[in-house]
Structure 1
């Protein structure tokens, strides 16, 4: 018997409906998943390179100038005179901002579609362990990281108080980092954010391997190993900086 009933319970008990469970979206889910996979890989590459650059705080000074200050000036002048000062830096910023907007939109869109499709029929604890925890908390961890990104920009890029220290000075990367991470609440927040980043990024890269259609057994094994190795390296490297400053090893 055919009924005009959108109730999932009715379908479950043998009644049939010819109506779709939801309207066809303008952007298909596979396109959103592909977008999130690509933007996630962009973020993974960025945080890895960003971490490597930040580790220059441990290097000795060049002619009295901290190595990380030299690196910061390089980022602002790269491409000159072909492009204006900070031109390449702004290109990177625009690409990252665009990727962030697409990533956030895809996350909320896919989450909303999943909840609408399942209704009250929820699947829980199918995988167990860290993977299950990461899957359930991806949206929450993403929101935490979004707040962290905003705080990080206000703190060490724009120097806006109270996120930034009272002695913030543009261009003085070394001094700004020391002043900021000498505040224990800020150092603890950064360390906690890096732990959240590990969970979010490792699961995101793990999922991206499947969303990109990579099916080869050996290739998947290598990429899945990298999906945990890169976030772990980023977490350890980034945590070492605020920890060393807060403990007074760098001053």
Structure 2
């Protein structure tokens, strides 16, 4: 608080201060929230499309060729000959990496500013429920997802041991999935990560709705439903893959 206050006892005991709790930031808070909302929606679109593509693992092979392997090769060659091999894929990767850096920076910056503004006083009498729990654990769930992303890339993109299986082969998406998720600890880690993703994504979409200025009662009701439905679809779709492989349905 910056207003004048005459209660010297309150001032002496730190109940109130005449000085700003933090300096005016160079990058305004509203801009950080808008950046996080946009980058979060980019990730939402990505995980949805990524899940749909991965579900091709359930389509039976034809002439010994798995549909998910054809899909992976299409991603590498899309845009040719205008674009070089994997050109479009690298554009997607760069956009996602930039969005990830901005999202992480925004998250830690906003949390730091909130702690500075709050001082030594903490929130009390929160409403509880899924959204309140998700709010309090967004940084933790975000860190878990960062760990998952690093493991996922090392496991199924780069083939780096010990994350990847010993039989990893670049381009052999179906076989790499089978080899990786046949390891129960890896399958369990992926399933837990998808539960965390549901919680992080559902709360993130709902916060993005507010940060993007959507205030209409009808629209907010619809988007609240979407904020639970879309992450639930992604979670169930992604969990079905390691579960089917670990239990021997896919082999």
Contact 1:125 1:132 (C-alpha < 8 Å) held by counterparts: no
Judged with a 3 Å threshold, the aligned counterparts in structure 2 of structure 1 residues 199 and 125 are, in CA distance, closer, same or farther, namely farther
- Residues 189-209 of structure 1: per-residue CA shift (max 9 Å, x gap): 000000000000000001000
Contact 2:21 2:119 (C-alpha < 8 Å) held by counterparts: no
The match for 1:197 is: 197
Contact 2:41 2:205 (C-alpha < 8 Å) held by counterparts: yes
Shift of 1:8: 7.1
Indicate yes or no: 2:33 matched with 1:33: yes
Matches within 5 A, 1:90-169: 90-169=90-169
SS in structure 2 at match of 1:117: helix
SS in structure 1 at match of 2:25: coil
- Residues 95-132 of structure 1: per-residue CA shift (max 9 Å, x gap): 00000000000000000000111112111342211111
The match for 1:229 is: 229
Q: Distance in 2 between matches of 1:9 and 1:206?
A: 41
Q: Distance in 2 between matches of 1:89 and 1:62?
A: 25
SS in structure 1 at match of 2:46: helix
Contact 2:61 2:67 (C-alpha < 8 Å) held by counterparts: yes
- Residues 14-63 of structure 1: per-residue CA shift (max 9 Å, x gap): xx62x322100010111000000000000000000000000000001132
Aligned residues: 246
Q: Distance in 2 between matches of 1:9 and 1:137?
A: 34
TM normalised by structure 1 equals 0.94
The match for 2:239 is: 239
Shift of 1:221: 1.1
Indicate yes or no: 2:249 matched with 1:249: yes
SS in structure 2 at match of 1:171: coil
Superposition misfits of 4+ residues, deviation over 6 angstroms? none
- Any unmatched runs of 5+ in structure 2? none
The match for 2:209 is: 209
Comparing 235-244 with 119-128, which one deviates more in the overlay? 119-128
SS in structure 2 at match of 1:76: helix
- Residues 50-83 of structure 1: per-residue CA shift (max 9 Å, x gap): 0000000000113220010010001000000010
